[in-house]
Each structure stands twice: as structure tokens, then as C-alpha cells.
Amino acid sequence: MQQTQNTTLLIIGGGPGGYVAAIRAGQLGIPTVLVEGQALGGTCLNIGCIPSKALIHVAEQFHQTRHHSQQSSLGIKVSPPSLDIGQSVAWKDGIVDRLTSGVAALLKKHGVKVIHGWAKILDGKNVEVDGQRIQCEHLLLATGSSSVELPMLPLGGAIISSTEALAPKALPKHLTVVGGGYIGLELGIAYRKLGVEVSVVEARERILPTYDSELTAPVAESIKKLGITLYLKHSVEGFDADKQHLQVRDPAGELLQLDTDQVLVAVGRKPRIQGFNLECLDLKMNGAAVAIDERCQTSMRNVWAIGDLSGEPMLAHRAMAQGEMVAEIIAGKTRRFEPSAIAAVCFTDPELVVVGKTPENAEQDGLDCIVAQFPFAANGRAMTLESKSGFVRVVARRDNHLILGWQAVGVGVSELSTAFAQSLEMGARLEDVAGTIHAHPTLGEAVQEAALRALGHALHL
């Protein structure tokens, strides 16, 4: 007879959403089982956030060393470097291993039972893994997302997804990235800095089309300077593997043959809703995602969904925050998922951050706002980092100066996302940020100066 295990909380998926929910549930004394079919840490730790930032770091170091070997205004003299990509990938894998082992240790420490295997849902209270039945009071779905594929570019051989691009055995001579969103550009820029010829094909009229053009302009400039070829308003038709030609149609309708030995398809991600009998629950959907309320409850009582499975924004920090919250709700706490803002960061060169409302969002909402920006060209720290491009921008209500949003583009601005999110979450006004002493010399001074400028008295401009 089939053996049945019982638990209070059963989590399907050990990505940032699922594992954080499990750790918090364990801390709160909730008997918890976590089922993971691949590796703990999910997309984020294994094939997403962490590996991409590791590769970007390798690429930046290589690029800088090569730059200094050719022309260094800093007085650094080095020989032209060479690259052992196998060792770079091994270094990246070492970081992934350390982090995923850390997750396993934390789960163990908090008494979470981890089952390695693929879960199949039987009903809202029963799940099967490798013939073993697990019965639960609460079912938390955290199955994440997968790359969107293009029918004319089936993955395999020279056509790869971000997963293969993050673990290259050898570098191609020419990589063509299909998709000018953040994943395509982060990887495209990294490959270019590793010495690969890179082209980007994007169907829309500019890169990073979900962000405003003022914000993306410094990234577009840097891409041009790096020698990446952009094919904007071009659509992909197919790939001729023998001739190594990517066929794309230009805006005039002409068919072009682009020479390339590898094609990276990076056209987005979709919630993972297939392959585990989710359909048997007949849950309410929100497009391709599982619909959830402000407590991450699905349309079925005690069935919860978090992270990429529940749709946009598909970001690791959102998944983690939802996971922590659901564990607390199951433990009896009163919680709602109502963040003032969730920061979105592109680790391009330069980096780009958006938190809260942009000027366009504020206008659409009919809000009368002050918009002010402070350029890094006037920031001492940016100069010492050899990077004067970009700016910090603030959006605040005109009547009471409540800050509604921050945007920034420039070197290292990903680290400013913390201050931006905190100021929004704490309901800061322009005067609060302008009146806070910001350490000198830091990029953060541009944050204070943007607030000062919104109040009409920037000091260093």
C-alpha cells in the first residue's frame, strides 16, 4: 500500500520563494515539507540572478584589464590578458554551490523536511512525489518560471537560452541576442566584454523598452561604445544552422542574413504552470499566471501561490517577501502583501534602477508632481570611478513633497535601490532625504542632491 506522510505545510519548489517560505515556517514551528525537482535555490541561485552577476563580474574584470593593457589613463601597465572560460565557470559554480549548500543547511537547521523529486498534485491537500503521497493542510505553489521559447528558434545546438549562456564550455566568435530586455542585455554586454562579437535583435524601437528612454539612453550609448550592433525594429524569422545565418526582417520588410555562430533567445519568462497536474485544481488564472489575492491565496482555500508563478514582477526579492509573508499567515499572523514599491534593477553597464512611480506613471495617475534629477557628471565619487554618465531622478508630489519614485542609471546604482525602497516604504518626503547627511564622497550624495534640486536648491549644480 502507498505510504502517506502528513504535514501542515507542503511547498512545491525550492527557489527563493519556496525556500524562504520554508525557513520562516520552520522558524515559526510549522511542520513543513519542501519538494524540489532540481536544485535548491531555484532559477535565482542556479541559473539566474547569482550566476549572471558572477559572469558579469568576470567580464568586467577581463574588460578592465584589457583596457589597461591598451590605454590606461590611470597609469596601470599590464600585458594583454587571456581568458580561461572553464575556470571562470568553475568559479561561478563554486559560488552557486556555496549558496545552495547554505540554503540546504538553513532548511535543516529549521527542521524543514526536503524531498528531492518532482511533485504531482492530486488535489488541494494531496501531492505525490515518486509514488509517495504527502497530505497537507496548506499547499504552497512556488514552481517559478521558465524561458519563453520562439517557435522559429527551437532551443538546441547553436540556439541557446540564458541557462546555457551562463555555463559556456567555450565562447562563440559571434553571439546574437534575440531580445533587448534586461536578461538579454546583461548577458550580451558580458559576452562583449569577454571579447565576443555581439549583436542584439529587438522587435521594439529601443532597448529595455519597459523603461523610459531618458533612463535607457546611457545604456544605449555604452552599448554603442562597446561595439555591440543593435538591430532595432527587426523581427526574427529563423536560423539556418548550416550557413550559420540568423534570418531577420528589417523595418522595410527586407530579409537580412546575419552571420552568427550562436543565438541567445532572451525574450522573457513565463510562469511554470504545466507538468505537475496544476490543472486539476482549476484555479483562477491571471493570464498565464496563477491569480492571487493580497495574501497570496489562490482561488482555493489554503492553496497559496508565490513568486514567478504568480506573474509580474518576476523578481527574486518579491518571491522571497511573499514566501516569508505566507509562512507568517499560516502561523496565524495578520499580514498583507502591500509593498510601497519593489525595486527593479538591470545589471547592465551602466546599471539601471527603478523604484516606485516614474514621471510617466505619476502623470497617468493624474498626480501633480515635481520631477528632478541630479547628474553623476557633478558627483565626485562617480568621477573617481571613471564613470560620469547617468543620473538620479526623484518623483514627488507637489503639494506635500511625498516621494513617489526614484530612478537612477549609472555605475553601481544597484546599491542605491536599498535607500530608494526604504525612503518609499517609510513615507519619506523630499525634506527628509535632503536633510539627511549623506557620506562624502559617495554616489548616494546624488540622491540627496536630487531631493535638494526638487526643492529648488541643489548645492553642486
Q: Hey, which residues are catalytic here?
A: 440
- CB-nearer residue toward ligand FAD: 20 or 447: 20
Q: What is the 3-state secondary structure (H, E, C) of 119-174?
A: EEEEECCEEEECCEEEEEEEEEECCCEEECCECCECCECCEECHHHHCCCCCCCCE
Question: 372 vs 268, 366, 456, CA distance in Å?
Answer: 32, 18, 9
Binding site residues, ligand FAD, CB under 6 A:
12-18, 35-38, 42-44, 48-49, 52, 118-119, 142-145, 162, 183, 272, 276, 307-309, 314-317, 319, 347
- CB-nearer residue toward ligand FAD: 347 or 374: 347
Q: What sign has the CA pseudo-torsion 357, 358, 362, 368?
A: positive
- CB-nearer residue toward ligand FAD: 16 or 218: 16
CB of 139 to ligand FAD, least distance (A): 12
Strands (E), 401-448: 403-410
3-class DSSP state of 277: coil
CB of 410 to ligand FAD, least distance (A): 17
- CB-nearer residue toward ligand FAD: 46 or 373: 46
Alpha helices by DSSP H, 277-414 = 316-330, 359-364, 380-384
User: What is the rounded CA–CA span in Å between residue 113 and residue 20?
Assistant: 14
What does the block give as the cell for 448?
540627496
Could you give the angle at the alpha carbon of 198 between the alpha carbons of 192 and 199, nearest 5°?
A: 145
- CB-nearer residue toward ligand FAD: 5 or 38: 38
- CB-nearer residue toward ligand FAD: 128 or 445: 128
Q: Which helix (H) or strand (E) holds 395?
A: strand 391-397
Largest pairwise CA distance in the chain? 77
List phi, psi (to 5°) of 222: -65, -35
CB of 149 to ligand FAD, least distance (A): 13
- CB-nearer residue toward ligand FAD: 16 or 359: 16
User: What is the rounded CA–CA span in Å between residue 397 and residue 421?
Assistant: 17
CB of 453 to ligand FAD, least distance (A): 29
Cis peptide before 350 (omega within 30 of 0): yes
CB of 16 to ligand FAD, least distance (A): 5
- CB-nearer residue toward ligand FAD: 18 or 179: 18
Question: 207 vs 182, 271, 448, CA distance in Å?
Answer: 9, 23, 29
CB of 198 to ligand FAD, least distance (A): 16
CB of 256 to ligand FAD, least distance (A): 27
Question: 434 vs 43, 403, 437, CA distance in Å?
Answer: 39, 12, 8
- CB-nearer residue toward ligand FAD: 248 or 296: 296
Contact 372, 453 (CB under 8 A): yes
Contact 12, 139 (CB under 8 A): yes
CB of 267 to ligand FAD, least distance (A): 12
The length of the chain is 461
CB of 62 to ligand FAD, least distance (A): 19
3-class DSSP state of 199: strand
Contact 404, 344 (CB under 8 A): no
